[in-house]
């Protein structure tokens, strides 16, 4: 019974890759987004250093610097390019990361100009420059100074001519790419009046679609998947998982996803979850097979340059059968990880104090318990969630544990009435907006004991209560992860099985009064992790990423 009840299915990617990767079905072209159609525009900042202010200057044909023919949309704000009134030798910076090129005055009117190749065949162009500050072919980061402004080429005075272009697959001087209309860019079209003074970075990307899409991420193959994701900001996102029994980490830099090398101490290595304190302080946890003797805890740390293994303790005889499944980071000296110890059938809790990891005593409940997710409000207010097996009935029930700064204690959480046996009730993910607004998600056995159904519970500062959540599909509906941006903007992800027996991704949103299902792209996909962040400090919308696995590769979906 113990082997049956332990939470192997929540050791997400190890199991889910087998579930999804085993599906041999023709894949639609929507599984991987086409660069040629509806490719994702890069997230941008204004083309000068943060904090500086510059005006939009007048142009030749339309106000605000339109240098092209009338916009095809008929909207006078759909400018093909914009002139910014930068004084001579002002710093010009990259609006997004990419590969930069420089062109000395070649007679085409741009004078000295630079163009930067971004992800998804987007190009930004900066004209009439005075001096270049980068080399041709150099990789640059968003906000990096690339040149000083000038008045070279066809110019009546110092300024910066800027345009965003797309559509070409190759180019030699940046001009093969078609100019993009600018009205969708906050700071350009939406604030596109010549009297406006713009402070970088006041805008992000083109007007958000607010629909979930499959992102272009590295094709890591059918035996790979992502199980956890965290966003530091809109330009710095980490996702972790596994590939062919080895750890996997992917990073989003604001323009594209890339695989970043990780460490593998054993024969089978998995990363389950990731949390971040800053750009240079990121933690990932999981487990590895210690020379085929059993699984042990795994913690890896990103210091801004590379991932390294940091020793973590194991409990039980021989230290085998230990798994870390969730993580929450409060500060550089306060990080928590949770999981399970199969040797003694008890939840496992570990803490990082800035120097080392140590095991922290967790309450004994039932004859088997496991913690799958964790969220932190403060150093003295942390919630961990999972499941435990009741001593008398043998049923699995929801488990919530709380840290008050001194110790962990079990806090009663509800389970839907069910007289059937066996019952499998799990809480897998948690998120907190405040001490009186905490959400957890998972799944429960339905009253007929024929399937699993979604479960969402809410903490109001006093007690936990079940909040109704929708179910779709035929069977086995589960929510694995939850993330919150505001009290009326909470997201939960998971999957269900359709009537053909194939898993399909499930996305639900809380709008402040109820949960509803949101359309998810693709097919035969599984989602197990989600993170959400503001587009930038002034944006009125959020960007969310969700990760999991598809029949062909690790999976990243986004909504902006």
- Residue 101 or residue 1, greater confidence: 101
Long-range CB contacts for residues 446-451, cutoff 8 Å, separation at least 24? 446/418, 447/416, 447/417, 447/418, 447/420, 448/420, 449/418, 449/420, 449/421, 449/422, 449/423, 450/475, 451/475, 451/476, 451/477
For residues 29 and 230, the answer to whether their CB atoms sit within 8 Å is no
How many other C-beta atoms are found inside a 10 Å radius of the C-beta of residue 327? 28
Q: In the predicted model, is pLDDT for residue 237 greater than 50?
A: yes
**Half-sphere exposure (CA, 13 Å, Cβ side) for 402?**
17
Positions of E strands within 435-535: 437-445, 452-459, 464-467, 475-486, 489-497, 503-510, 515-518, 526-534
Cα 330 to Cα 281, 354, 457, 542, 551: the distances in Å are 11, 11, 23, 22, 35
| Residue 211 DSSP class | S
User: Rg (Cα) of the chain, in Å, rounded?
Assistant: 26
Q: Give the C-alpha separation, 366 to 72, whole Å.
A: 68
Give the residue carrying structure tokens 């402040």.
512
Q: Give the C-alpha separation, 132 to 519, whole Å.
A: 46
Under CATH, which number does the domain 2-36+209-559 receive? 2.120.10.70
Q: Where in the chain is the domain with CATH 2.70.70.10?
A: 53-199
Q: Where in the chain is the domain with CATH 2.120.10.70?
A: 2-36+209-559
Q: What is the pLDDT of residue 243?
A: 92
Give the CA angle between residues 542, 545, 548 to the nearest 5°. Answer: 160
Q: Give the C-alpha separation, 518 to 507, whole Å.
A: 5
Q: In the predicted model, is pLDDT for residue 421 greater than 80?
A: no
Q: What is the pLDDT of residue 4?
A: 34
- Percent pLDDT > 90 in the chain is 52
DSSP for 374-414 reads EEEEETTEEEEEEEEE-TTT--EEEEEEEE-SS-EEEE---
Q: What is the pLDDT of residues 522-543, one digit of tens each?
A: 899 999 999 999 865 545 568 8
Name 548's Cβ contacts closer than 8 Å, sequence gap at least 6. Answer: 16, 225, 226, 227, 493, 495, 505, 525, 526, 527, 528, 529, 554, 555
Lowest mean pLDDT among 121-125, 229-233, 363-367: 121-125
Quickly state the pLDDT bin for 477 (edges 50, 70, 90): very high
Quickly state the pLDDT bin for 191 (edges 50, 70, 90): very low
Q: What is the pLDDT of residue 80?
A: 58
Quickly state the pLDDT bin for 171 (edges 50, 70, 90): low
Q: What is the pLDDT of residue 423?
A: 83
What rounded mean pLDDT belongs to the chain? Answer: 81
| Residue 150 DSSP class | B
Q: What is the pLDDT of residue 43?
A: 62
Q: What is the pLDDT of residues 342-388, one digit of tens each?
A: 888 899 999 999 999 999 999 999 989 999 999 999 999 999 999 99
Q: Give the C-alpha separation, 65 to 86, whole Å.
A: 13
Q: What is the pLDDT of residue 456?
A: 98
For residues 557 and 546, the answer to whether their CB atoms sit within 8 Å is yes
For 242, counting Cβ atoms within 10 Å of its Cβ (0-12 exposed, 13-18 middle, 19+ buried), the class is buried
- Residue 104 or residue 200, greater confidence: 104
Q: Give the C-alpha separation, 527 to 150, whole Å.
A: 49
Instruction: Give me the mean pLDDT over the 24-50 stretch.
Output: 43
Q: Domain 53-199 class?
A: mainly beta
Give the predicted TM-score (pTM) of the model: 0.76
Q: Give the C-alpha separation, 226 to 272, whole Å.
A: 8
Most confident of 49-58, 205-214, 389-398: 389-398
Quickly state the pLDDT bin for 173 (edges 50, 70, 90): low
Closest by Cα among 252, 247, 341, 232 to 294 = 341
Q: What is the pLDDT of residues 71-111, one digit of tens each?
A: 444 444 334 567 788 889 999 999 888 889 999 988 888 89
Cα 342 to Cα 75, 83, 120, 346, 349: the distances in Å are 64, 64, 45, 7, 13
Long-range CB contacts for residues 280-284, cutoff 8 Å, separation at least 24? 280/304, 281/329, 281/332, 282/230, 282/232, 282/238, 283/327, 283/329, 283/335, 283/337, 283/352, 284/228, 284/238, 284/240, 284/247, 284/249, 284/327
Q: What is the pLDDT of residue 416?
A: 87
Q: In the predicted model, is pLDDT for residue 470 greater than 50?
A: yes
For residue 102 the two structure tokens come to: 């420089």
Quickly state the pLDDT bin for 299 (edges 50, 70, 90): very high
Lowest mean pLDDT among 171-175, 185-189, 259-263, 303-307: 185-189
Quickly state the pLDDT bin for 271 (edges 50, 70, 90): very high
Quickly state the pLDDT bin for 207 (edges 50, 70, 90): very low
Q: What is the pLDDT of residue 39?
A: 44
Closest by Cα among 168, 161, 126 to 145 = 126
């Amino acid at each position: 019974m113990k082997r049956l009840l332990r939470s192997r299915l929540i050791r997400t990617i190890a199991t889910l890759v087998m579930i999804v990767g085993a599906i041999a079905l023709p894949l639609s072209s929507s599984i991987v987004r086409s660069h040629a159609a509806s490719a994702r525009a890069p997230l941008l900042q204004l083309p000068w250093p943060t904090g500086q202010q510059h005006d939009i200057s007048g142009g030749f044909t339309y106000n605000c610097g339109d240098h092209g023919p009338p916009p095809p949309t008929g909207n006078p704000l759909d400018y093909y390019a914009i002139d910014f009134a930068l004084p001579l030798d002002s710093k010009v910076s990259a609006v997004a990361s990419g590969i930069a090129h420089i062109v000395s005055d070649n007679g085409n009117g741009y004078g000295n100009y630079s163009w930067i190749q971004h992800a998804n065949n987007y190009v930004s162009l900066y004209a009439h420059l005075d001096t270049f500050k980068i080399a041709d072919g150099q990789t640059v980061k968003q906000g990096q100074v690339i040149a000083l402004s000038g008045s070279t080429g066809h110019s009546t005075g110092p300024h910066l001519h800027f345009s965003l272009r797309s559509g070409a697959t190759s180019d030699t001087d940046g001009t093969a790419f078609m100019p993009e209309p600018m009205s969708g860019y906050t700071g350009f079209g939406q604030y596109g009046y010549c009297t406006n003074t713009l402070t970088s970075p006041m805008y992000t990307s083109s007007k958000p679609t607010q629909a979930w899409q499959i992102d272009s991420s590295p094709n890591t193959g059918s035996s790979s998947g992502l199980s956890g994701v965290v966003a530091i900001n809109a330009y710095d996102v980490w996702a972790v998982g596994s590939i062919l029994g080895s750890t996997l980490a992917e990073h989003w830099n604001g323009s594209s996803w890339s695989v970043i090398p990780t460490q593998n101490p054993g024969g089978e290595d998995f990363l389950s979850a990731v949390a971040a304190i800053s750009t240079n302080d990121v933690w990932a946890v999981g487990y590895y097979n210690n020379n085929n003797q059993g699984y042990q805890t795994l913690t890896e740390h990103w210091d801004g340059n590379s991932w390294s293994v940091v020793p973590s303790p194991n409990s039980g005889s021989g230290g085998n059968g230990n798994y870390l499944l969730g993580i929450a980071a409060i500060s550089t000296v306060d990080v928590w990880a949770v999981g399970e110890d199969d040797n003694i059938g008890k939840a496992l809790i570990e803490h990082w104090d800035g120097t080392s990891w140590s095991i922290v005593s967790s309450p004994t409940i039932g004859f088997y318990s496991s913690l799958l997710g964790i969220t932190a409000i403060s150093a003295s207010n942390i919630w961990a969630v999972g499941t435990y097996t009741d001593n008398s009935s043998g049923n699995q029930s929801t488990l919530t544990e709380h840290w008050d700064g001194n110790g962990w204690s079990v806090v009663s959480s509800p389970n839907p009435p069910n007289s059937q046996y066996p019952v499998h009730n799990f809480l897998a993910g948690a998120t907190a907006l405040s001490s009186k607004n905490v959400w957890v998600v998972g799944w429960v056995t339905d009253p007929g004991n024929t399937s699993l159904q979604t479960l969402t519970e809410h903490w109001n500062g006093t007690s936990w209560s079940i909040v109704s959540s929708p179910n779709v599909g035929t069977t086995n509906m589960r929510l694995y992860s939850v993330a919150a941006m505001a009290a009326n903007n909470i997201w939960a992800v998971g999957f269900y099985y359709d009537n053909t027996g194939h898993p399909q991704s499930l996305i639900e949103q809380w709008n402040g009064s109820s949960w509803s299902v949101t359309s998810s792209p693709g097919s035969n996909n599984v989602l197990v992790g989600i993170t959400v962040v503001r587009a930038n400090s002034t944006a009125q919308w959020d960007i969310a990423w969700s990760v999991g696995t598809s029949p062909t590769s690790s999976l990243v979906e986004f909504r902006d």
